[in-house]
Amino acid sequence: METKFEIEKLNLYYGTFQALKEIDMSIYGNKITALIGPSGCGKSTFLRTLNRMNDLIQGVKIDGLIKFDNQDIYGKDYDLIELRKKVGMVFQKPNPFPKTIYENIVYGPKIHGEKNKSTLDHIVERTLKEVALWEEVKDRLHKPALGLSGGQQQRLCIARCLAVEPEVILMDEPTSALDPVATSKIEGLLEELAVKYTIVIVTHNMQQAGRVSDYTSFFLNGKVIETDKTEVIFSNPANKKTEDYITGRFG
């Protein structure tokens, strides 16, 4: 099994507050890894270290090692643009740009230099089909993306992310702002996407983690308590705290 991300002794500080403590983890290719844990346990923060989105926040300090395809992504010569191209992200709240559906999807390819109209058309069709949105929007590609429903917007955001042909997709509670129907559509999608992509998903919803993921990692107070195959975590966790959280004793 291919290891996509190798994380060793990762510490992250917001100013003087330490949000992540001594994290060691491996994330495997073409698998879905779920990060669970109570609010404020650092799972989103951890997710955002993987594509260096935390760089945007002032006062963040990181030490330790994160290797993506065996290269240190915080290394001096590492190409941040290339990293973000390969490691896409879907956010908690759907955030399509206030442009048309079409323009949203071709945004990524365009900034990376793709100009050919028919290639772009092709990308739009391919990605919208991948997220099962094509049938719903094919007649209104040039209408504002903000006119779509929340669930459609989120699938559009996933399509936008797929358009730059990433290897990994990071998802930060992608269904927490959506209704149950939209949620189940996106969950169904994850399984299909995992054939081609590696997925890391942060979720508050333990059933969701149980339903969709191959591996689950339990975070608590900035530490990884336990990482294992999802069935093991949910049926026979090694750590007492994991068991307490999963059975709903706190969280």
Partner 1 sequence: MKQQKELKNIKNTKNVIFYGLIGVLAAVTLASLIIIIGYILVNGMTHINFEFLTQDPKRMGKEGGIFSVIIGTLMVTSVGILIATPIGIAAAIYFTEYSKGGKGVYLIRFFTEILAGIPSIIFGLFGFAFFVIFMGMGWSVLSGGLTLAIMVLPTLIRATEESLKTVPMSYREGSLSLGATKWQTIVRVILPCCRPGILTGLILGIGRAIGETAAVMLTVGGSLRLPTSVFDSTRTMAVHLYVLAAEGLSMEKTYATAALLIFIVLLINTSANLISNKLGGNNGNEI
Angle at which helix 180-196 crosses helix 150-162, to 10 degrees, equals: 10
Does 100 engage in binding with partner 1 (CB under 8 A)? yes
User: Is 195 a binder of partner 1 (CB under 8 A)?
Assistant: no
Restricting to residues 32-71, which ones interact with partner 1 according to CB under 8 A?
A: 51, 53, 56, 58
Q: How far is the CB of 87 from partner 1 (least distance, A)?
A: 9
Report the C-alpha gap between 111 and 122 in whole angstroms. 17
145 counts as binding partner 1 under rule CB under 8 A: yes
Interface with partner 1 includes 151 (CB under 8 A)?
A: no
Assess 196 for contact with partner 1 (CB under 8 A).
no
Q: Which of 160, 248, 244, 168 is nearest to 204 (CA)?
A: 248
Interface stretch with partner 1, choices 14-22, 93-101, 120-128, 181-189 (CB under 8 A): 93-101
113 in contact with partner 1 (CB under 8 A)? no
Is residue 13 involved in binding partner 1 (CB under 8 A)?
no
Kindly state the greatest CA–CA separation across the chain.
Answer: 56
Minimum CB–partner distance for residue 1 and partner 1 (Å): 26
140 binds partner 1 (CB under 8 A): no
Of the candidate spans 11-19, 31-39, 141-149, 173-181, the one that interacts with partner 1 by CB under 8 A turns out to be: 141-149
Long-range contacts from 14-21, C-beta under 8 angstroms, 24+ separation: 14/57, 14/59, 14/60, 15/59, 18/222, 19/45, 19/222, 20/45, 20/46, 20/49, 20/222, 21/221, 21/222, 21/223
Please report how close the Cβ of residue 24 comes to partner 1 at its closest, in angstroms.
Answer: 25
Give every CB contact of residue 140 below 8 A, 6+ residues apart in sequence.
Answer: 101, 147
Query: With binding defined as CB under 8 A, does residue 85 bind partner 1?
Result: yes
**Residue 144 touching partner 1 (CB under 8 A):** yes
Q: With both helix axes pointing from N to C terminus, report the angle between 101-111 and 150-162 in degrees, rounded to the nearest 10.
A: 20
b/e sequence 45-73, b meaning 16+ C-beta within 10 Å: bbbbbbbbbbeeeeebebebebbbeeeeb
Query: By CB under 8 A, what part of segment 208-247 binds partner 1?
Result: none
Binding site for partner 1 (CB under 8 A): 51, 53, 56, 58, 81-85, 88-89, 91, 93, 95-100, 103, 107-108, 111-112, 143-147, 157, 160-161, 164
